């Protein structure tokens, strides 16, 4: 715009002198209009409007100035203003942009990550020095740094931790490190969402094989535990039976057996006639009880 104002001013001067030489009013009118245009163009060259949700970085002869907030600002006609949007931006690392990582065991995993970031207006000057333009922020800073940090974090964990047990902790570590890396550069990272982690085909086969081995081991351990418990049960049962027989053998004396026979005889005599038949001769032989009501 400043160049246009200079050109209009030159044209107005040329028309003015041409009108004086030819003494014609049309040339002078053209000169006046050219002068007005030059003034207006000069004014526009000294005014810059920063839109809402944007921040401007003024540069005058290579010197970076103070960031400009939203609104109208006066500036030198020799100052260029580079604007950056402060609206949140989503960087989706999935599909073709999915991050291929390796665990501490060397297993290959694929991580789907979304990084939500925005330009920090206060640090817009630092961002300008690093990126130079709004389009270069994501390609030069956010994307490569995020990929590097994601790979570094996964490399500190095993494959199982990466896709299962420590996934939430890994997501938190990635978010903290991305924020720490990009904040000094003028990029405010809101969230880093580790949406999905899937193993490679080769790693998945290894995982399935390991699961099968673990299940077989668990079944073998359970069978051994069951057999041991059954053996212990039988041992305890046998010991109990043996002790009972031992106690019974000690308690069954001739006198005890004789008394038992007498008690049985008395009980039978209450309901129907019975008679006792000695079982042999001698005091050591027990009698035989015979029911007299039966033939």
Average pLDDT along the chain = 77
Paired sense of beta strands 71-74 and 79-85, if any: unpaired
Provide mean pLDDT across the span 53-57: 90
Annotate 226-267 with DSSP letters as a single string: HHHHHHHHHHHHHHHHHHHHHHHHHH--HHHHHHHHHHHHHH
Residue pLDDT, tens place only, 201-211 = 776 666 667 76
pLDDT over 90 percentage in the chain: 23
Provide mean pLDDT across the span 268-278: 58
Residue pLDDT, tens place only, 224-258 = 888 888 888 888 888 888 787 777 677 666 666 66
Q: In 3D, which of 274, 234, 122 has the Cα closest to residue 184? A: 122
Instruction: Give this prediction's pTM.
Output: 0.58
Instruction: Report the sign of the C-alpha dihedral through residues 164, 166, 170, 171, in that order.
Output: positive
**Higher-scoring residue by pLDDT: 214, 270:** 214
Strand, helix or coil at 66?
coil
Residue pLDDT, tens place only, 141-188 = 999 999 999 999 999 998 888 888 888 999 999 999 999 999 988 899
What is the per-residue pLDDT for 188? 93
Range with the poorest average pLDDT among 7-11, 119-123, 131-135? 7-11
Q: How far is Cα 292 from Cα 229, in angstroms, rounded to an integer?
A: 53
Q: How far is Cα 114 from Cα 193, in angstroms, rounded to an integer?
A: 5
What is the per-residue pLDDT for 99? 92
Q: pLDDT tier at 10 (50, 70, 90 boundaries)?
A: low
Range with the poorest average pLDDT among 29-43, 174-188, 212-226, 265-279? 29-43
């Amino acid at each position: 715009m400043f160049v246009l104002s200079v050109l209009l001013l030159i044209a107005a001067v040329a028309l003015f002198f041409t009108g004086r030489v030819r003494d014609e009013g049309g040339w002078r009118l053209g000169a006046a209009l050219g002068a007005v245009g030059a003034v207006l163009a000069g004014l526009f060259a000294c005014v810059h409007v920063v839109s809402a949700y944007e921040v401007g970085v003024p540069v005058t002869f290579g010197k970076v100035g103070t960031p400009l907030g939203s609104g109208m600002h006066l500036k030198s006609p020799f100052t260029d203003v580079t604007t950056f949007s402060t609206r949140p931006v989503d960087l989706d690392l999935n599909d073709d942009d999915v991050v291929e990582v390796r665990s501490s065991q060397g297993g290959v995993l694929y991580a789907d990550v979304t990084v939500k970031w925005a330009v920090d207006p206060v640090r817009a000057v630092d961002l300008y020095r690093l990126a130079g333009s709004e389009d270069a922020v994501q390609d030069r800073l956010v994307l490569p740094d995020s990929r590097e940090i994601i790979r570094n974090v996964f490399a500190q964990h095993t494959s199982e931790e990466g896709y299962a047990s420590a996934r939430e902790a890994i997501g938190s570590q990635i978010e903290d490190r991305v924020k720490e890396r990009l904040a000094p550069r003028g990029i405010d990272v809101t969230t880093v969402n580790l949406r999905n982690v899937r193993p490679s085909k080769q790693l998945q086969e290894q995982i399935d094989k390991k699961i099968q081995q673990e299940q077989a081991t668990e079944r073998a351990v359970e069978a051994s535990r069951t057999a041991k418990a059954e053996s212990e049960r039988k041992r305890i049962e046998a010991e109990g039976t043996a002790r009972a027989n031992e106690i019974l053998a000690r308690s069954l004396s001739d006198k005890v057996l004789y008394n038992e026979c007498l008690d049985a005889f008395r009980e039978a005599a209450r309901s129907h006639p019975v008679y006792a038949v000695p079982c042999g001769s001698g005091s050591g032989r027990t009698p035989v009880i015979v029911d007299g009501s039966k033939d």
